[in-house]
Amino acid sequence: MQAIERFAQYLSKHGLKMTRERRALIDHVLSVRGHFDVDDLLGRLRKAGHGVSRATLYRNLPRLVDSGLIHKVEMARGQARYELMLGRHHHDHMICLGCGTILEFESPEVERIQEVVCRRKKFVMTGHSHQIRGYCESCASVGSSPGSAGRRR
């Protein structure tokens, strides 16, 4: 199914309409590669001449997440980045608190253990996002050098 149809279906299921703003939003989300934040998306929309407000994005991005078309990656200090999940395999993330780099990983072992843990709790998992916070290789080596401020959470 096309992403736009899928989002339209999701909207109608929730009593919402595919407005011109939402259509512009999804068109632009579909064209972004990698992990993007609200400012990136707002910049793209404005550049293309769409008068979309930040509030519109904050209202509609959770709907795109809920519809399964995009995935939200929680960053440090309450920030978030998003990525298109269409045509992509499930993967999880490591987030560097130093430079904001996002590393992707896929681990069958981690996936399996999560399922085992859920079964044990009789919990029916419908999805998950596993995020590891810490420091990437280059930030970790800066943090461990003498005289640095040290690592913060």
- Residues in contact with Zn ion by CB under 5 A are 83, 92, 96, 98-99, 101, 104, 130, 136, 139
H or E element in which residue 93 lies: strand 92-96
Decide whether 69 or 83 has the Cβ nearer to Zn ion: 83
Decide whether 80 or 98 has the Cβ nearer to Zn ion: 98
Minimum CB distance to Zn ion, residue 106 (Å) = 8
CB 22 within 8 A of CB 29: no
Minimum CB distance to Zn ion, residue 17 (Å) = 30
Decide whether 48 or 142 has the Cβ nearer to Zn ion: 142
**What burial letters (b/e) apply to 54-71, b meaning 16+ CB within 10 Å?**
eebbeebbebbbebebbb
